[in-house]
Amino acid sequence: MRFVVTGEWTRNHLLRLIVFFFLAYVAIFWLTNALLYFNKMGLTYQSVVDYYRGSEEQFLQPRSYQGLLEISHFHLFSMGILMLTLTHLLLFAPLPPKQKVLFICLSFGSAFLDEASSWLIRFVHPWFAFLKIASFAVLELTLPVLMGCILFALLKQSPSAYTQDFDSKTT
């Protein structure tokens, strides 16, 4: 942690290597996340509703309570850790604080709503399919932005921007 706060993370080759490998894993996760989503459904209202509520025409069973619970149990923890790690690294990137707040809120919010919308579609109303599509799209757009900002900070070897506050003139 000290290396990142002091700005030494851009000069410590082993730490940079670790962060580069982490970003590579996140990039693969990002790709497989999209592939899994599009393998199950598309960006259309009906495909999302059919996946969660079932479809007689496609012989799809509705998602079960236990099935959604098992998926949520894993996803809530793993996405929380992923968002925590990415947004934590984002704190040290040379971005205006308001932009960091925006990216942090978008990433955590879209990840949570992506998970919550599955439950809402299945057990509340199919119109929540629009929320599922929007939150998935925002999540898939936010992840490469976060990765890009962190990668840029590493490649630029800029000093840590951790101490920037909202009163600075960079906002």
Q: What pLDDT is stored for residue 129 in this prediction?
A: 97
pLDDT-derived band at 115 (thresholds 50, 70, 90) equals: very high
Res. 127 pLDDT band, cuts 50 70 90: very high
User: Looking at residue 79, what is its pLDDT?
Assistant: 95
For 28-78, write each residue's pLDDT tens digit.
999 999 999 999 999 999 999 999 998 888 888 999 999 999 999 999 999
pLDDT of residue 163: 54
Whose tokens are 């799209």? That residue is 137
Residue ranges per domain, the chain?
Answer: 2-156
Residue pLDDT, tens place only, 11-20: 678 888 899 9
How many helices, marked H, and strands, marked E, lie in the chain? 6, 0
Q: According to the model, what pLDDT value does residue 171 have?
A: 46
Q: Is 167 exposed, middle or buried (0-12, 13-18, 19+ CB in 10 A)?
A: exposed
Q: What kind and span of H or E run contains 60?
A: none
